[in-house]
């Protein structure tokens, strides 16, 4: 049995709840603080209200970080199967939507309640609506927090305050400020898993098709995804765009293949030979939703029969359809982003215990760290794995 310590976990989100329970089960006195009036707000709103709580196929390759090896140890020590075992123990029903992606069958609330129950069973003291004015370290070890509920002292502080996405849900830069205060480096942050916005004629064009989802192959930098794109009033969203946003930098083009890998030029030439009297737009409708086919005909003046197309025109059309270069004006930013890329530099944190290398007793877990998962349940898996690894190490 370890010696019982007084531990404060700041942030009652996915990682904080998991860590608090794991530490309290080890016999520590754990206080879990959050400035929000409710715990686990992001869990509750996640996965369209049904929380994509893990991904059975999750591997370290599904994570972005300046230090890609950091996440391996924790992910290995607490796997998607371990979390699933907990979910099953609590009798929560779930479904596998896409291969490996597990969602609650009923509601995200099941996962939030499960974590709160675990904290209660383990003896965690949860204090919501608690703002933290300052954190100071004593020379002899330990920390003092000045909070809206008075001063609290602790042997160790775990920072689980997450990233900057969705400020209306309680997201703050508190964890980054605290890291800097104690000399821990913070890498630049940017919004990710976020829809693209467009201006000018492309905004008008996509807005006119708002609500339409189309399977495409989309590329940007070293990212390439064959998944649906969704037209919105502001631009483009859907899984392919959200995933691509993790690769995109301001000013870059994204490239969309509306035929998702099919050889458009070959298909077009073959159709011209076999059905020369067919209208180009009619041919297009065999491959794309009718609204999109009509829009393409309009945007690129694609009237007339297939027979009227020269080889050069076939080539030009196939390029519009299979490699459309688009320059987003930006993203929807923190307002709708699912995650934050960047954050506390993992080179300055132990991958085993999550303690800051040069600041004994100060720990960082979850999304506040420079570890970001791809869409599909990987981010929660990181929250669980880092939370458990830290909680068990305390």
Site residues for ligand FAD per CB under 6 A: 10-16, 33-36, 41-42, 45-47, 51-52, 132, 160-162, 165-166, 170-172, 174, 338-339, 366-368, 377-380, 383
Name the residue nearer to ligand FAD (CB basis): 65 or 161: 161
Name the residue nearer to ligand FAD (CB basis): 328 or 387: 387
Nearest to 124 by CA among 3, 39, 42, 53: 39
Alpha-carbon span 31 to 59, nearest angstrom: 32
Token digits of residue 301: 């003046």
Specify the DSSP class assigned to residue 91. T
Token digits of residue 294: 């009509």
Token digits of residue 305: 């029969």
Name the residue nearer to ligand FAD (CB basis): 209 or 365: 365
Name the residue nearer to ligand FAD (CB basis): 10 or 209: 10
User: CB of residue 156 vs ligand FAD: minimum separation in angstroms?
Assistant: 17
Give the helix, strand, coil percentages of the chain, each rounded to 5: 35, 25, 35
User: CB of residue 328 vs ligand FAD: minimum separation in angstroms?
Assistant: 20
User: CB of residue 77 vs ligand FAD: minimum separation in angstroms?
Assistant: 18
Name the residue nearer to ligand FAD (CB basis): 318 or 374: 374
> By the 8 A CB rule, do 73 and 389 touch?
yes
User: CB of residue 354 vs ligand FAD: minimum separation in angstroms?
Assistant: 12
Alpha-carbon span 231 to 237, nearest angstrom: 6
Pairing label, strands 196-197, 330-331 = antiparallel
Q: Which residue is nearest to ligand FAD (CB)?
A: 13
CA atoms within 13 A on the CB side of 356: 26
Name the residue nearer to ligand FAD (CB basis): 239 or 288: 239
Alpha-carbon span 238 to 217, nearest angstrom: 12
Name the residue nearer to ligand FAD (CB basis): 240 or 322: 240
Nearest to 157 by CA among 367, 47, 16: 16
User: CB of residue 158 vs ligand FAD: minimum separation in angstroms?
Assistant: 11
User: CB of residue 5 vs ligand FAD: minimum separation in angstroms?
Assistant: 21
Helix (H) or strand (E) holding 196: strand 196-197
User: CB of residue 14 vs ligand FAD: minimum separation in angstroms?
Assistant: 4
């Amino acid at each position: 049995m370890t010696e019982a310590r007084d531990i404060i976990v700041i942030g009652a989100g996915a990682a904080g709840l998991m860590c608090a329970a794991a530490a309290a089960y080890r016999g520590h006195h754990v206080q879990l603080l959050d400035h929000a009036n409710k715990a686990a707000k992001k869990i509750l709103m996640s996965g369209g209200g049904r929380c994509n709580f893990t991904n059975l196929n999750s591997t370290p390759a599904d994570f972005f970080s300046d230090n890609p090896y950091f996440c391996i140890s924790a992910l290995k020590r607490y796997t998607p199967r371990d979390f699933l075992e907990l979910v099953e123990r609590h009798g929560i029903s779930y479904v596998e939507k896409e291969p490996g992606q597990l969602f609650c069958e009923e509601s995200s609330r099941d996962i939030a309640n499960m974590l709160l129950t675990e904290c209660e069973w383990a003896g965690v003291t949860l204090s919501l609506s608690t703002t933290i004015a300052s954190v100071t370290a004593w020379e002899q070890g330990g920390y003092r927090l000045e909070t809206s509920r008075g001063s609290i002292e602790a042997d160790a502080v775990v920072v689980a305050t997450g990233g900057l996405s969705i400020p209306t849900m309680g997201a703050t830069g508190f964890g980054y400020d605290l890291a800097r205060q104690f000399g821990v480096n913070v890498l630049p942050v940017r919004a990710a898993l976020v829809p693209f916005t467009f201006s000018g004629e492309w905004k008008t064009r996509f807005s006119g098709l708002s609500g339409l989802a189309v399977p495409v192959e989309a590329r940007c930098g070293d990212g390439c995804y064959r998944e649906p794109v969704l037209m919105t009033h502001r631009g483009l969203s859907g899984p392919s765009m959200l995933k691509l946003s993790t690769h995109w930098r301001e000013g870059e083009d994204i490239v969309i293949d509306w035929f998702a890998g099919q050889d458009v030029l070959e298909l077009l030439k073959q159709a011209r030979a076999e059905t020369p009297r067919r209208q180009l737009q009619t041919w297009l409708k065999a491959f794309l939703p009718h609204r999109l086919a009509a829009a393409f005909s309009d945007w690129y003046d694609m009237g007339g029969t297939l027979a009227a197309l020269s080889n050069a025109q076939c080539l030009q059309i196939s390029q519009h359809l299979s490699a459309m270069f688009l320059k987003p004006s930006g993203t929807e930013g923190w307002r709708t982003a699912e995650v934050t890329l960047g954050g506390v530099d993992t080179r300055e944190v132990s991958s085993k215990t999550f303690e800051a290398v040069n600041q004994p007793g100060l720990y960082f877990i979850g999304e506040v760290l420079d570890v970001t998962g791809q869409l599909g349940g990987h981010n929660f898996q990181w929250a669980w794995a880092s939370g458990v690894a830290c909680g068990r190490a305390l």
